[in-house]
Amino acid sequence: MAISQQSVLIIDDEENMRHMLKAMLSKAGYAVESASDGVEGLLKMEGSDYGFILCDIKMPRMGGMDFLKAAKEKYSHKTFIMMSAYGSVETALEAMKEGAYDYISKPFKKDEVLLTLKKAEEREGLRKENLTLKTRINNFEKRYSFDNVIARSEAMAKVFDLVSKVAEHKTTVIITGESGTGKELTAKAIHRNSPRASEPLVSINCGGIPENLLESEFFGYKKGAFTDAVKDKPGRFVEADGGSIFLDEIGELPISLQVKLLRVLQEEEVTPLGGVGSEKINVRVITATSRDLDKMVREGKFREDLFYRVNVMRIHIPPLRERKGEIPGLMGHFLETVNKMLKKNLQGPTSETVSILMDYSWPGNVRELENVIERAVLLAAGQLITPAELPSSLTRTKTTASYFAPEDTLSIKKASKVLHRILIERALKETGGNKTQAAKLLEISRPILLSKIKEYAIG
C-alpha cells in the first residue's frame, strides 16, 4: 500500500490513545494508521512508507526504545517521535541519543502534538531541498565542469570543448581573459588531460620576476656565467622537458627576451647563460595574458612574429559579469571547499545575500568571489551567510534614483509601483522565471507575486 509523505504511524498499547490520536491527526489532514506494540509497528513499516512515527515508550512484547533501535537500523531517514506517561529528562535524552527526532510527555495537549509534527515536516522539507540541491549541483558539475574548472554558462561549455580538443595535441595555446577568470586552472586542465600528464607542468609568472632575472630563470646558466653562479643551474624550460610549460602574463615579457623566446619556440632548443652549445627540448607551451596583445603588436610593444607563434589556438575566458548564472553554482562549490578547510558547516547565503552577490559586477572575477565566500564563512556566526559578512564594496546600497529618474514622477504611489515592477523583473530574471524562487527573493508569498505580475503586465 502506497502511503504519502504526510502519513503517520501511531504505536501505542492503549486503544483509547490510538483512537484519540487517529481522530485528531485525521482531522488535521494526515493519513493515519496504528499498531498496538513495537512488533506490529515493525511489520506495518515493512509494507508502507510512513512519513512520521509516533511511538509510546512502555508497551508489552516490544517497548518503544527496543522498537526505536530496531527501526532506525532499517529506516534511518524516518522521523520518530517518542511518547511516555513516565517521562523524565533521562528518558528523553536516551530517546534522542537513539535517533528520535523529539519526545512528548503524556498527558499532552492537542496543539503540542500538531506543533511537533509541523516542526518535523519543516525539517523533512529542508532535508529534501538539500538533497535536491546536492543532486542539481552534482548534475551541474558533470555537465559544466572540466578537470578542476567549474562553470555553468554555454560560453564556458564552449571553452571546455576547446580545452578537450587541444589537450591531446602539442599545439601552442594562448589563454586570454581578465585577471581572476581562471586562466591558470584552464592551463592545468589542458596539461592534465594531455598525453604529457605524467610529466611536469612548470609555471612561470612573467610579470612576477625581475627583468634581469628572467633570462636565467627561463634558460638556466652555467657555473661562472656571473658573480653568484657558483654551479650549473637548469632553466625552467629544461625542467619542463617532456611535459608542459605555462607562461602566465606573457604580455609582460620585455622585448629583449621576446626575441630569445621566439627562437626557443622555433628551434625547440635552449642555450643557458654562459653556455657555448644549445640543448634540445620537447616542451608543450601554454601561455596566458590579461592584456590586449593585438593592440600591443600594433603599438610595437609585442613582437608580431612571436604573437603569431603563440597565438596558434586562442581560448578566451569571459569575465564573471558576463556569466552571472554561474555565481550560485560557484558559491556552492566554494562554500563546500571553505567549510572543509575551516571545519565549519554553513548551509549557504540568505536570499538577500544572493541578491547582492548577483547584482555585483565582480571586477576580480572568480578569484574575488572565492575570496568573498572564504571571508564570509570565516566571519559568520550562524548557519547562514548574511550581508553583514560581505565586504562593504558589495553592500553599498543603491539609491532609489538608480532605479528611475526622479523627474519621472513625484507621486510616492506611482514611484512605488515602478520600483515594485523593477524588483519583480530582476527577481524573475535572476531565478530564470521560477516564480516560487522569485517570491522567496522578494520575501513575498507566491500568490502575491502572481497578482503583481498580472497587475503590472510583466511578461
Nearest to 219 by CA among 175, 174, 266, 263: 263
Query: Looking at residue 398, what is its pLDDT?
Result: 43
Question: Cell 609568472 identifies what position?
Answer: 205
What single string gives the DSSP state of each residue in 240-263?
TTTSEEEEETGGG--HHHHHHHHH
Give Cβ neighbours of residue 60 (< 8 Å, ≥ 6 apart): 13, 37
| pLDDT tens string 88-111 | 677 778 888 888 888 888 888 888
Q: Is 269 helix (H, G, I), strand (E, B) or coil?
A: strand
SS3 state of residue 63? coil
CB 403 within 8 A of CB 411: no
Residues of the chain with confidence (pLDDT) below 70: 1-5, 87-88, 134-152, 396-415, 459
Question: pTM (2 decimals)?
Answer: 0.56
What b/e readout covers 292-326, taking b as 16+ CB neighbours within 10 angstroms?
Answer: ebeebbeeeebbeebbebbbebebebbbbeebbbb
> How confident is the model at residue 151, as a pLDDT?
60
288's CB contacts (< 8 A; 6+ apart) are: 174, 175, 176, 177, 183, 184, 186, 187, 246, 247, 248, 249, 250
CA atoms of 92 and 82, how far apart (whole Å): 8
Q: What is the dihedral of CA 218, 219, 224, 226, to 10 degrees?
A: -40
- Beta strands 145-146; 149-150: pairing state: antiparallel
Cell numbers at 415, concatenated: 514611484
Max CA separation in the chain (angstroms): 102
Residue 400 exposure: Cα atoms within 13 Å on the Cβ side: 13
Give CA–CA dist 369/181, Å, rounded.
10
pLDDT of res. 1: 38
The pLDDT of residue 138 is 59
Query: Buried b / exposed e across 92-120, counting CB within 10 Å, b at 16+?
Result: bebbeebbbbbbbeeeeeeeebeebbeeb
- The rounded distance, in Å, linking the Cα atoms of 134 and 30 is 29
State phi, psi for 224 to the nearest 5 degrees: 90, 0
Distances in Å between the alpha carbon of 157 and those of 146, 296, 387? 9, 29, 31
CB atoms within 10 A of CB 16: 8
Domains and CATH numbers, the chain: 7-135 (3.40.50.2300), 151-318 (3.40.50.300), 322-395 (1.10.8.60), 400-455 (1.10.10)
pLDDT in tens, 119-155: 888 887 777 777 777 666 555 555 545 555 666 677 8
293 vs 388: CA distance, rounded Å: 41
pLDDT of residue 397: 46
- State how far the Cα of 65 lies from the Cα of 283, in Å rounded to an integer: 68
Type of residue numbered 82: M
| pLDDT value at residue 410 | 56
Cell (9 digits) for 30: 494526515
Please say whether the beta carbons of 159 and 317 come within 8 A: yes
CB proximity list for 196: less than 8 A, separation 6 or greater:
242, 243, 244, 284
